[in-house]
Amino acid sequence: MEFRKNQSAGFLVNHVARIFARGLAARIKPLGLTTGVFPALLELWEKDGLTQKQLVVRLDIEQATMANTLARMERDGLITRKPDENDRRSQRIWLTDRARGMQGAAIAAAMDENAAALAGLSEAEQRQFVALLQKVVETGGKKDGSES
Q: In this structure, is residue 148 part of a structural domain?
A: no
Q: How far is CA 87 from CA 40, 82, 84, 91, 128, in A?
A: 22, 11, 5, 8, 43
Number of domains in the chain: 1
Report the CATH number that the domain containing residue 60 is assigned in CATH.
1.10.10.10
Residue 111, amino acid: M
pLDDT of residue 147: 45
Q: In this structure, is residue 99 part of a structural domain?
A: yes
What span, in angstroms and rounded, lies between the C-alpha atoms of 28 and 110? 8
Range of the domain at 90: 8-140
pLDDT of residue 6: 86
- Tens place of pLDDT for every residue, the chain, 148 residues? 788 888 899 999 999 999 999 999 999 999 999 999 999 999 999 999 999 999 999 999 999 999 999 999 999 999 999 998 888 788 999 999 999 999 999 999 999 999 999 999 999 999 999 999 999 988 986 655 444 3
- The helices-and-strands tally (H runs, E runs) of the chain is 6, 3
What span, in angstroms and rounded, lies between the C-alpha atoms of 17 and 3? 21
pLDDT of residue 84: 87
Q: What are phi and psi of 117, to 5 degrees?
A: -70, -30
pLDDT of residue 143: 57
pLDDT of residue 146: 47
